[in-house]
Amino acid sequence: MKTPLFKGCGTALITPMHEDGSVNFAKLEELVDWQIREGVDALVICGTTGEAPTLEDDEHIECINVAVQAAAKRVPVIAGTGSNYTDHAVMMSHRAEKVGADGLLMVTPYYNKTTQQGLVKHYKYIADRVNLPIILYNVPSRTGVGFTAASYEALADHPMINGIKEASGNFTLIAETFAKCEDKLYMWSGNDDQTIPIMSLGGLGVISVASNLAPKLVADMCRKALEGDMAGAAKMQKDYFRLFNDLFIEVNPMPIKAAMNMAGFNVGPARLPLCELTPASEKKLRETLVHYGFVQA
């Protein structure tokens, strides 16, 4: 049986920027250390929330390197290395391995898309050429292509494919995947508002946006579920629905960066084409942060 890369809360870490748009590596070190001290179980660097599509390859790898060094083996560091060009994904994965990443997050090919046959061939090609465990990342709302349960099943036996970050929101797919793959593929929620429902079916936690701001909260919620207190975990899921929802009031990671800046973390702007929130969204998000005590009124 495969060993899961982690159980519980893995933060999909933002990439902090200076006001001129350059990466703030010193702030990234601070965030990594704070996240671990707050109790998260893993860190995912250079994913969607980390603005990976706007990072040049060298910046991308340096972000992974800084996170690995700052984490110092206290928690696993999982590097986003997916691409819509298969050989580029392999190359970035090799570079991530060289700087010490513990695993890979591999988004489905975007824009050029592919068939289900192409998806399976893409991931098998990569998995045959890397030495780190892979988490498949299913987010069809962004990529335009998603897995079927049959494709998950076709990949489940590969020793380098560890599990799935499921952000499709399709619970029929999720339930069918658990039924077909059982313990051959682990699963983590890719949506903060669906963490406990997925864990109730057998998921191991979440790769979370909200935990950038509230790492202890999300880690505690996952811990309750893993320890069998599903009622307590479900109560937290419901109590914080407004926060989880409003952190997606506009395109991720614009709201989480805005929220962290409001809360005093000074993580800087997002890179174009991402931008600041509209005044109406900023007002609503601030009201939510005040409601939960992250920002003073």
pLDDT at 193: 97
Query: Would you give per-residue pLDDT tens digits along the chain (297 residues)?
Result: 799 999 999 999 999 999 999 999 999 999 999 999 999 999 999 999 999 999 999 999 999 999 999 999 999 999 999 999 999 999 999 999 999 999 999 999 999 999 999 999 999 999 999 999 999 999 999 999 999 999 999 999 999 999 999 999 999 999 999 999 988 999 999 999 999 999 999 999 999 999 999 999 999 999 999 999 999 999 999 999 999 999 999 999 999 999 999 999 999 999 999 999 999 999 999 999 999 999 998
The residue segments making up the domain with residue 115 are 8-238
Do the domain assignments include residue 199?
yes
Do the domain assignments include residue 275?
no
Pick the catalytic residue from 7, 27, 123, 137: 137
Strands 186-189 and 161-166: parallel
Do the domain assignments include residue 226?
yes
* Of the candidates 267, 195, 286, 242, the residue with the CA atom closest to the CA atom of residue 13: 267
Pick the catalytic residue from 165, 186, 224, 257: 165
Split into its structural domains, the chain has a count of 1
pLDDT at 297: 85
Do the domain assignments include residue 266?
no
* Of the candidates 215, 208, 252, 271, the residue with the CA atom closest to the CA atom of residue 59: 271
- Identify whether the C-beta of residue 108 lies closer than 8 Å to the C-beta of residue 140: yes
**Segment 209-254, tens digit of pLDDT:** 999 999 999 999 999 999 999 999 999 999 999 999 999 999 999 9
Do the domain assignments include residue 17?
yes
Burial class (CB in 10 A: 0-12, 13-18, 19+), 183: exposed
- Identify whether the C-beta of residue 124 lies closer than 8 Å to the C-beta of residue 158: yes
- Identify whether the C-beta of residue 76 lies closer than 8 Å to the C-beta of residue 98: no
pLDDT at 270: 97
Active site residue 27: no
pTM as predicted: 0.97
Active site residue 137: yes
- Identify whether the C-beta of residue 38 lies closer than 8 Å to the C-beta of residue 219: yes
Do the domain assignments include residue 262?
no
Do the domain assignments include residue 168?
yes
* Of the candidates 16, 11, 74, the residue with the CA atom closest to the CA atom of residue 261: 16
Classify each residue of 267-295 as buried b or exposed e, where b means 16 or more C-beta atoms within 10 Å of its C-beta: bbbbbeebeebeeebbeebbebbeeeebb
Residue 216 belongs to domain with CATH number? 3.20.20.70
Do the domain assignments include residue 290?
no
Gap between the Cα atoms of 187 and 189, Å rounded: 7
**Segment 120-139, tens digit of pLDDT:** 999 999 999 999 999 999 99
